[in-house]
A = this chain, B = another copy of it.
Amino acid sequence: MGRLAVNPSEFRKDPEMNVIVDLCVVPIGVGVSLSEYIAECERVLAEAGLETQLHPYGTIIEGEWDAVFAAVKACHEAVHTKGAPRITTTIKVGTRVDRVQSASDKVRSVEQKIHGG
């Protein structure tokens, strides 16, 4: 794998890239009931010490890029180990270098606009 030179000073100041991820793991070949596999992912994410928030179509995860994606990989491994022969996952991942914004900041910002506007 090639190395990428990333060197603008303002980006370098924060070598850790924080992410907000929306993770939706779909095991295939295990029937229609998927909740025990999603519960397994929740356990993996909790063990990884990551802040998460379960919603009806996925799980929000906040943290540093490497820690979050190591946990996402661990979810795939755990779901395969639990018996799923195939998995398809959808991930949304947001990063920003202009300012710090948490997942709850995002919701609050929209709600203020709804009620204020």
Contact at A56–B103, with CB atoms within 8 Å?
yes
Contacts of A3 in B (CB 8 A): 29-31, 83
Contacts of A53 in B (CB 8 A): 55-56
Q: Copy number of this protein in the oligomer?
A: 4
Contact at A73–B17, with CB atoms within 8 Å?
yes
Contacts of A93 in B (CB 8 A): 76, 88-89, 91
Find A4's partner among B4, B31, B90, B91 (CB 8 Å cutoff): B31
How far apart are A48's CB and chain B's nearest CB, in angstroms? 5
Contact at A98–B29, with CB atoms within 8 Å?
yes
Contacts of A81 in B (CB 8 A): 6-8, 11-12
Contact at A117–B39, with CB atoms within 8 Å?
yes
